[in-house]
């Protein structure tokens, strides 16, 4: 009964006040108040989240996992737009309940309804730690699970406890819901056993891109039977072609499968089979982690009935998500921003920097480490990152951020002596640009709050919009 009615007076008031809070935040503060309107509106009317889900006439897609949520959400939204559907989506990185409510606050008309709601799909990135709570309220039509790596240990504790928290949620999932699962991450693939929902798997079948050996960040994982995993091939961390040495469960054959992958420092070309239909994806983002994000997005779009050709065209045309391989032209240099949140993510982007390039190709880096709450206050994780992968290459690195000295020591221990250590963002950016020849690319590797800082500085210098103007 309630489900079919329009928004209540209380909900409409909450939306109005949320909108006012957003306007005020944009006027007075930096950061654009991406969370504030949701915080205000959600506190006044906790039912807004359900109302948002109900108003998305074509259902809701959730995207969760440690790494790749923002980019995958962005790709799914881009594919849907190419398919003629206007998605409702949360601002990048704003992936707690309040962030989802922001999507509603911003899309709602004064009466609290969303224009063309019947034809719209909600596409929301959801933090892995809050998914179990939000899942029954959003009742997603498609739920994407990317991976589970160690991340911000001081916030969540063990990664395994996050995965375990999903058990009850999946057991009660609607049989009409499709779970899009990474076949190569055993902690994700094994979720299939816990649900009656439909399963659509994605993964990599090209063994040429496997790692020669397990990298530092590979977390020891156990099968749900308690046994150990053995790998025929590892693609990153604990992600690869796995089998349990105890119960014999094996990685499922992915229905969305990357058969052949050509990596370069700019992007990837991937031959993909989507339920038997062959298509070439030109992915304009570097790194094998970007290939996984594109496969996940393609699988989600496939589950929503988008034709394979539309998927391929939309991925090729997709610009970067906020702060994820975004590029800026500054003083005749191309500057690319790479977000590093944890060892697994850092390893993948370091690998992406040198993918397909010759050893002699110079790499210009600005490496920024902060220790704010959103960065992870314990910075010792940098010792689990495989910075050594760049040793022996022609690398010029400037270290910056609140913990520039700690980062510089880590680079030094990897055999790469930083050219400069400059905590201040603007000064470090000046120095790094000065060491990058005109026409060359400067790559900025940064933790979350450092990324926000440097992105603001770059946007200003390049004459691009501010955080809150583009953070969609």
Cβ of residue 223: shortest distance to Zn ion, in angstroms? 3
Sole window of 24-32, 224-232, 314-322, 405-413 interacting with Zn ion (rule: CB under 5 A):
224-232
Q: Could you give the C-alpha distances from 336 to 291, 351, 369, 418, 444, in angstroms and in order?
A: 18, 15, 16, 19, 6
End-to-end CA distance of the chain: 33
* Least separation in angstroms between CB 193 and Zn ion: 11
Q: Which of 461, 460, 458, 445 is nearest to 399 (CA)?
A: 445
Residue 414 touching Zn ion (CB under 5 A): no
Q: Which stretch binds Zn ion (CB under 5 A): 23-31, 91-99, 237-245, 334-342?
A: 237-245
**CA 375 to each of CA 53, 357, 386, 410, 446: distance values in angstroms, whole numbers, following the listed order:** 30, 30, 18, 17, 9
Kindly report the CA angle at 358 between 352 and 363, in degrees rounded to 5? 55
**For residues 223 and 387, which CB has a smaller minimum distance to Zn ion in the complex?**
223
What strand order describes the sheet that includes 142-145?
88-89, 122-125, 60-64, 142-145, 178-182, 198-204, 256-263, 268-274, 277-283
- Taking the C-alpha atoms of residue 183 and residue 256, their distance in angstroms, rounded to an integer, is 10
Q: Is 223 in the site for Zn ion (CB under 5 A)?
A: yes
CB of 219 to Zn ion, least distance (A): 17
Question: How many chain residues interact with Zn ion (CB under 5 A)?
Answer: 7
Examine residue 189 and tell whether it contacts Zn ion (CB under 5 A): no
Min separation Cβ 227 and Zn ion, Å: 4
The nearer residue to Zn ion, 227 or 372, going by C-beta atoms, is 227
Q: Kindly state whether residue 380 participates in binding Zn ion, applying the rule CB under 5 A.
A: no
CB of 167 to Zn ion, least distance (A): 16
- Cβ nearer to Zn ion, comparing 247 with 373: 247
Residue 244 touches Zn ion, criterion: CB under 5 A: yes
Least separation in angstroms between CB 433 and Zn ion: 51
Q: Which range binds Zn ion by CB under 5 A, 34-42, 239-247, 266-274, 371-379?
A: 239-247
In angstroms, give the least distance from the CB of 252 to Zn ion.
Answer: 14
Measured distance CA(218)–CA(386) in Å, rounded: 11
162 or 244: whose CB is closer to Zn ion?
244
The minimum distance between CB 245 and Zn ion, in angstroms, equals: 8
The dihedral built from the CA positions of residue 278, 284, 285 and 286, taken in this order, carries a sign that is positive
| 183-191, 220-228, 388-396, 398-406 -> range binding Zn ion (CB under 5 A) | 220-228
Question: 222 or 468, CB closer to Zn ion?
Answer: 222
**Listed ranges 35-43, 117-125, 226-234, 335-343: which one lies at the site for Zn ion (CB under 5 A):** 226-234
- The CB-of-164 to Zn ion minimum distance in angstroms stands at 16
Cβ-based nearer residue to Zn ion, 100 or 244: 244
Q: How far apart are CA 75 and CA 87, in angstroms?
A: 11
Q: Which stretch binds Zn ion (CB under 5 A): 75-83, 149-157, 219-227, 415-423?
A: 219-227
State which of residues 193, 225, 440, 462 lies at the interface with Zn ion (CB under 5 A): 225
Closest approach of Cβ 228 to Zn ion, in Å?
8
As a whole number of angstroms, the distance between CA 168 and CA 247 comes to 23
Residue 426, token pair as written in the block: 């603007």
Q: Do residues 177 and 142 lie in contact, with contact meaning Cβ atoms separated by under 8 Å? A: yes
Nearer to Zn ion among residue 242 and residue 322 (C-beta): 242
Q: Which stretch binds Zn ion (CB under 5 A): 11-19, 184-192, 240-248, 449-457?
A: 240-248
Q: Considering only CA atoms, give the Rg of the chain.
A: 22
Which element (helix H / strand E) includes 23?
helix 9-28
* Pairing label, strands 268-274, 256-263: antiparallel
* Binding flag, residue 247, Zn ion (CB under 5 A): yes
In the complex with Zn ion, which residue's Cβ is closer, 106 or 249? 249
Region of 441 on the Ramachandran plot (φ > 0 left; ψ -120 to 50 alpha; else beta): beta
Instruction: Tell me which residue of 238, 66, 236, 234 sits closest to 148, measured CA to CA.
Output: 66
Pick from 268, 263, 243, 238: which is nearest to 253 by CA?
A: 243
Cβ nearer to Zn ion, comparing 243 with 470: 243
Binding status of residue 252 toward Zn ion by CB under 5 A: no
Q: How many angstroms separate the CA atoms of 216 and 60, rounded? A: 37
Report in angstroms how near the CB of residue 247 gets to Zn ion at its nearest.
Answer: 3
Is 227 near Zn ion (CB under 5 A)?
A: yes
Does 246 sit near Zn ion (CB under 5 A)?
Answer: yes
Burial class (CB in 10 A: 0-12, 13-18, 19+), 267: buried
Residues in touch with Zn ion (CB under 5 A)? 223, 225, 227, 244, 246-247, 249
């Amino acid at each position: 009964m309630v489900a079919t009615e329009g928004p209540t007076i209380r909900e409409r008031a909450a939306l109005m006040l949320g909108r006012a809070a957003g306007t005020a935040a944009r006027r007075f503060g930096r950061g654009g108040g991406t969370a504030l309107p949701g915080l205000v509106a959600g506190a006044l009317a906790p039912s807004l989240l359900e109302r948002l889900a109900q108003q998305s006439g074509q259902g809701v897609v959730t995207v969760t996992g440690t790494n790749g949520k923002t980019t995958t959400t962005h790709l799914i939204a881009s594919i849907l737009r190419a398919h003629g559907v206007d998605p409702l989506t949360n601002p990048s990185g704003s992936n707690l309940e309040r962030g989802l409510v922001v999507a509603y606050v911003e899309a709602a008309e004064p009466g609290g309804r969303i224009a063309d709601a019947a034809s719209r799909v909600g596409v929301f990135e959801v933090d892995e730690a809050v998914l179990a709570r939000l899942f029954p309220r959003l009742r997603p039509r498609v739920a994407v699970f990317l991976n589970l790596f160690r991340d911000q240990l001081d916030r969540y504790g063990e990664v395994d406890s996050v995965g375990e928290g999903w058990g009850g949620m999946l057991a009660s999932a609607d049989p009409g819901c499709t779970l899009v699962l990474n076949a190569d991450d055993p902690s994700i693939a094994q979720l299939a056993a816990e649900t009656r929902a439909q399963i659509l798997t994605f993964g990599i079948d090209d063994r040429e891109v496997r790692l020669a050996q397990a990298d530092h960040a590979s977390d020891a994982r156990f099968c749900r039977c308690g046994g150990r995993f053995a790998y025929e091939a590892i693609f990153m961390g604990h992600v690869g072609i796995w089998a349990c040495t105890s119960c014999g469960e094996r990685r499922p054959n992915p229905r969305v499968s990357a058969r052949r992958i050509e990596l370069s420092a700019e992007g990837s070309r991937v031959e993909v089979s989507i339920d038997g239909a062959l298509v070439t994806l030109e992915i304009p983002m570097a790194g094998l982690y970007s290939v996984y994000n594109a496969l996940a997005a393609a699988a989600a779009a496939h589950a929503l009935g988008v034709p394979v050709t539309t998927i391929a065209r939309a991925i090729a045309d997709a610009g970067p998500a906020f702060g994820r391989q975004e590029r800026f032209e500054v003083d005749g240099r191309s500057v690319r921003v790479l977000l590093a949140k944890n060892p697994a993510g850092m390893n993948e982007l370091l690998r992406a920097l040198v993918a397909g390039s010759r050893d002699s190709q110079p790499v210009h880096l600005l490496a920024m480490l902060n220790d704010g709450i959103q960065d992870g206050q314990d910075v010792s994780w940098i010792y689990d990152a495989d910075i050594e992968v760049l040793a022996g290459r022609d690398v010029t690195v400037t270290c910056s951020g609140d913990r520039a000295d700690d980062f510089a020591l880590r680079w030094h221990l990897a055999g790469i002596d930083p050219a400069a250590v400059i905590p201040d963002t603007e000064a470090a950016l000046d120095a790094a640009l000065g060491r990058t020849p005109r026409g060359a690319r400067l790559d900025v590797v940064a933790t979350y709050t450092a990324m926000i800082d440097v992105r603001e500085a770059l946007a200003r210098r390049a004459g691009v919009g501010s955080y809150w103007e583009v953070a969609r």
